[in-house]
Structure formats: structure tokens, C-alpha cells
Amino acid sequence: MEDKETFSKGELIMNNLENNWHLFVDWFKKSLAMMIVFILFGASIGIYCSKIIYDMRMNEVTKVGGFVYDNKVYNVSLRP
């Protein structure tokens, strides 16, 4: 004869709850990891774009020879 495990209704409910809890925890871990990846990816894109804009702005300032800051005009000259 085979030993067949018989579970009561309460044990089946507890096993089902534990299984659902583990599924939720796994889903949350995957979602959290994807959020972290997207945040890091967005931050790196933002930093790179700000570097490009900063370089373009500096090129413009050196070509024109000055810039306005706080209602004052500053002269910019390249040093040899």
C-alpha cells in the first residue's frame, strides 16, 4: 500500500497562502530590481545629456567671449 498524505482543509489553506506569499515576494523582488535598473539607466542618461549641454554651452561662451550672470556681463578669454 502506498502512504497517501491527507491534508485537512486548514493545512491546504495554509499551504496555499504560503505559496501565494512566495509568489508575491518573488514578483516584488523582480519589480524592485527592474526599478533600480531603470533609475540607474535614467540617471546615467541624464548625466550624459547634462555633460553634452554643458560642453555646448562652454563652446558658445568661448566663441562669443562673454556671458551674462545675475544681470552682470562677464568677459571670457582663453589663456595661452
Q: What is the pLDDT of residues 37-65, one digit of tens each?
A: 999 999 999 999 999 999 888 888 777 78
pLDDT category of residue 29 using cuts at 50, 70 and 90: very high
Whole-number Å distance between alpha carbons of 57 and 69: 13
Distances (CA, A) of 53 to 30, 37, 57: 35, 24, 6
Give the model's pLDDT for residue 28.
96
Give per-residue pLDDT as tens, 4-21.
567 677 777 788 888 888
How large is the average pLDDT for residues 24-31? 94
Report yes or no: 61 and 76 within 8 Å, Cβ to Cβ: yes
Give the model's pLDDT for residue 1.
45
CA 45 to chain centroid, in Å, comes to 10
Cell numbers at 74, concatenated: 562677464
